[in-house]
Amino acid sequence: MEERISGVMIYYYFVCKRKLWYFMHEISMETENENVLLGKLLDENSYKRDDKHINIDNVINIDFIKEQKELHEIKKSRAIEEAGVWQVKYYLYYLKKRGVTGLKAKIDYPLLKKNFVVELTEEDENQLSVIICEITDLKKQLQPPEFHEKKLCIKCAYHDLCLI
Protein backbone atom coordinates (compact mmCIF):
# COMPACT_ATOMS: atom_id res chain seq x y z
CA MET A 1 0.00 0.00 0.00
CA GLU A 2 2.82 2.44 0.78
CA GLU A 3 3.81 2.46 -2.91
CA ARG A 4 1.19 5.16 -3.24
CA ILE A 5 2.48 7.27 -0.39
CA SER A 6 5.11 9.79 -1.31
CA GLY A 7 7.55 11.59 0.95
CA VAL A 8 5.71 14.84 0.29
CA MET A 9 2.54 13.25 1.64
CA ILE A 10 4.34 12.26 4.84
CA TYR A 11 5.59 15.83 5.09
CA TYR A 12 2.10 17.28 4.63
CA TYR A 13 0.69 14.81 7.14
CA PHE A 14 2.70 16.61 9.79
CA VAL A 15 2.18 20.10 8.39
CA CYS A 16 -1.59 20.05 7.80
CA LYS A 17 -3.91 17.12 7.10
CA ARG A 18 -6.25 19.35 5.14
CA LYS A 19 -3.39 20.35 2.87
CA LEU A 20 -2.56 16.67 2.50
CA TRP A 21 -6.14 15.93 1.48
CA TYR A 22 -6.08 18.67 -1.17
CA PHE A 23 -2.74 17.47 -2.41
CA MET A 24 -3.94 13.88 -2.73
CA HIS A 25 -7.13 14.87 -4.50
CA GLU A 26 -5.74 17.42 -6.87
CA ILE A 27 -2.15 16.68 -7.66
CA SER A 28 -1.56 13.02 -8.02
CA MET A 29 1.13 13.23 -10.72
CA GLU A 30 3.87 14.24 -8.32
CA THR A 31 3.31 11.12 -6.28
CA GLU A 32 3.94 8.98 -9.29
CA ASN A 33 7.00 10.98 -10.25
CA GLU A 34 8.48 10.46 -6.85
CA ASN A 35 7.85 6.76 -6.87
CA VAL A 36 9.42 6.48 -10.27
CA LEU A 37 12.46 8.30 -8.97
CA LEU A 38 12.73 6.13 -5.89
CA GLY A 39 12.29 3.13 -8.12
CA LYS A 40 15.28 4.30 -10.11
CA LEU A 41 17.28 4.62 -6.95
CA LEU A 42 16.57 0.99 -6.29
CA ASP A 43 17.41 0.00 -9.80
CA GLU A 44 20.50 -2.13 -9.64
CA ASN A 45 22.37 -0.31 -12.37
CA SER A 46 21.78 3.15 -11.07
CA TYR A 47 22.52 1.94 -7.56
CA LYS A 48 25.98 0.92 -8.70
CA ARG A 49 26.74 4.34 -10.08
CA ASP A 50 28.31 7.06 -8.02
CA ASP A 51 26.47 9.82 -6.25
CA LYS A 52 23.02 10.51 -7.57
CA HIS A 53 21.02 13.60 -7.32
CA ILE A 54 17.32 12.93 -7.10
CA ASN A 55 14.91 15.74 -7.64
CA ILE A 56 11.45 15.18 -6.25
CA ASP A 57 8.59 17.43 -7.25
CA ASN A 58 11.15 20.13 -8.05
CA VAL A 59 10.92 21.06 -4.39
CA ILE A 60 12.71 18.39 -2.47
CA ASN A 61 16.14 17.24 -3.47
CA ILE A 62 17.81 14.14 -2.23
CA ASP A 63 21.34 13.17 -2.91
CA PHE A 64 22.49 9.65 -2.56
CA ILE A 65 26.14 9.41 -1.64
CA LYS A 66 27.23 5.94 -2.56
CA GLU A 67 30.56 5.95 -0.78
CA GLN A 68 28.92 6.66 2.56
CA LYS A 69 25.63 4.88 1.75
CA GLU A 70 23.94 8.08 2.76
CA LEU A 71 20.76 9.83 1.76
CA HIS A 72 21.35 13.50 1.96
CA GLU A 73 18.75 16.20 1.92
CA ILE A 74 19.01 19.96 2.05
CA LYS A 75 16.24 21.95 3.71
CA LYS A 76 16.17 25.69 3.52
CA SER A 77 13.99 26.12 6.57
CA ARG A 78 15.15 28.13 9.53
CA ALA A 79 14.21 25.44 11.99
CA ILE A 80 14.53 21.69 12.23
CA GLU A 81 11.00 20.67 11.34
CA GLU A 82 9.42 17.48 12.57
CA ALA A 83 7.74 17.08 9.16
CA GLY A 84 11.05 17.13 7.29
CA VAL A 85 12.61 14.64 9.67
CA TRP A 86 9.67 12.24 9.23
CA GLN A 87 9.83 12.62 5.49
CA VAL A 88 13.43 11.43 5.50
CA LYS A 89 12.61 8.66 7.99
CA TYR A 90 9.99 7.57 5.49
CA TYR A 91 12.59 7.27 2.73
CA LEU A 92 14.64 5.01 4.98
CA TYR A 93 11.52 3.01 5.80
CA TYR A 94 10.48 2.79 2.15
CA LEU A 95 13.88 1.55 1.09
CA LYS A 96 14.18 -0.86 4.01
CA LYS A 97 10.84 -2.42 3.06
CA ARG A 98 12.38 -3.08 -0.34
CA GLY A 99 15.48 -4.68 1.06
CA VAL A 100 17.79 -1.67 1.01
CA THR A 101 19.26 -1.53 4.48
CA GLY A 102 22.34 -0.06 6.11
CA LEU A 103 21.65 3.44 4.79
CA LYS A 104 22.25 6.58 6.76
CA ALA A 105 20.40 9.82 6.24
CA LYS A 106 21.30 13.37 6.96
CA ILE A 107 19.48 16.67 6.57
CA ASP A 108 21.54 19.78 6.01
CA TYR A 109 20.17 23.11 7.16
CA PRO A 110 22.43 25.68 5.47
CA LEU A 111 20.59 28.62 7.00
CA LEU A 112 21.14 27.18 10.45
CA LYS A 113 24.64 25.94 9.64
CA LYS A 114 23.62 22.62 11.12
CA ASN A 115 23.07 19.11 9.99
CA PHE A 116 20.81 16.53 11.50
CA VAL A 117 21.30 12.79 11.36
CA VAL A 118 18.06 10.93 10.76
CA GLU A 119 17.70 7.41 12.04
CA LEU A 120 14.88 4.97 11.75
CA THR A 121 14.01 3.12 14.94
CA GLU A 122 11.65 0.20 15.32
CA GLU A 123 9.22 2.56 17.01
CA ASP A 124 9.43 4.92 14.01
CA GLU A 125 8.64 2.03 11.70
CA ASN A 126 5.55 1.19 13.73
CA GLN A 127 4.50 4.80 13.73
CA LEU A 128 5.02 5.07 9.98
CA SER A 129 2.80 2.02 9.43
CA VAL A 130 0.05 3.79 11.38
CA ILE A 131 0.63 7.04 9.47
CA ILE A 132 0.44 5.21 6.13
CA CYS A 133 -2.93 3.70 7.16
CA GLU A 134 -4.19 7.11 8.26
CA ILE A 135 -3.10 8.72 4.98
CA THR A 136 -4.78 5.92 3.03
CA ASP A 137 -8.01 6.48 5.00
CA LEU A 138 -7.77 10.24 4.53
CA LYS A 139 -7.46 9.76 0.79
CA LYS A 140 -10.75 7.87 0.77
CA GLN A 141 -12.60 10.69 2.54
CA LEU A 142 -14.90 12.69 0.30
CA GLN A 143 -14.36 15.91 2.23
CA PRO A 144 -11.17 17.47 3.59
CA PRO A 145 -10.69 17.59 7.36
CA GLU A 146 -12.09 20.66 9.10
CA PHE A 147 -10.32 23.98 8.60
CA HIS A 148 -8.34 25.21 11.57
CA GLU A 149 -6.39 28.36 10.88
CA LYS A 150 -2.70 28.22 11.71
CA LYS A 151 0.31 30.47 11.21
CA LEU A 152 1.38 28.73 8.06
CA CYS A 153 -2.01 29.17 6.35
CA ILE A 154 -0.99 32.58 5.06
CA LYS A 155 1.75 31.08 2.90
CA CYS A 156 -0.22 27.99 1.87
CA ALA A 157 -1.16 27.43 -1.78
CA TYR A 158 -4.61 26.24 -0.66
CA HIS A 159 -5.29 29.32 1.44
CA ASP A 160 -7.99 30.72 -0.87
CA LEU A 161 -9.63 27.34 -1.14
CA CYS A 162 -9.76 27.00 2.64
CA LEU A 163 -11.33 30.40 3.12
CA ILE A 164 -14.21 29.92 0.67
Asked whether position 85 contacts ligand SF4 by CB under 6 A, the answer is: no
* In the complex, least distance from residue 164 CB atom to ligand SF4, rounded to whole angstroms: 11
CA distance 6 to 71: 16
Scan residues 22-51 and list those touching ligand SF4 (CB under 6 A).
22
Scan residues 133-162 and list those touching ligand SF4 (CB under 6 A).
147, 150, 152-153, 156, 158-159, 162
* In the complex, least distance from residue 58 CB atom to ligand SF4, rounded to whole angstroms: 20
CA distance 111 to 94: 28
Asked whether position 116 contacts ligand SF4 by CB under 6 A, the answer is: no
Cα 83 to Cα 11, 17, 44, 93, 96, distances in angstroms:
5, 12, 30, 15, 20
Q: Which of 2, 8, 9, 18 binds ligand SF4 (CB under 6 A)?
A: 18
Q: How many CB atoms lie within 10 A of CB 22?
A: 18
Asked whether position 19 contacts ligand SF4 by CB under 6 A, the answer is: yes
Asked whether position 103 contacts ligand SF4 by CB under 6 A, the answer is: no
Asked whether position 117 contacts ligand SF4 by CB under 6 A, the answer is: no
Neighbouring-strand partners of residue 87:
none
Q: Phi first, then psi: what are they for 152, rounded to 5°?
A: -75, -10
* In the complex, least distance from residue 96 CB atom to ligand SF4, rounded to whole angstroms: 30
Cα 143 to Cα 13, 30, 54, 62, distances in angstroms:
16, 21, 33, 33
Nearer CB in complex with ligand SF4: 116/147 = 147
Is 125:49 a contact under the CB 8 Å cutoff? no
Asked whether position 100 contacts ligand SF4 by CB under 6 A, the answer is: no
Judged by the rule CB under 6 A, the positions of this chain that interact with ligand SF4 are 16, 18-19, 22, 147, 150, 152-153, 156, 158-159, 162
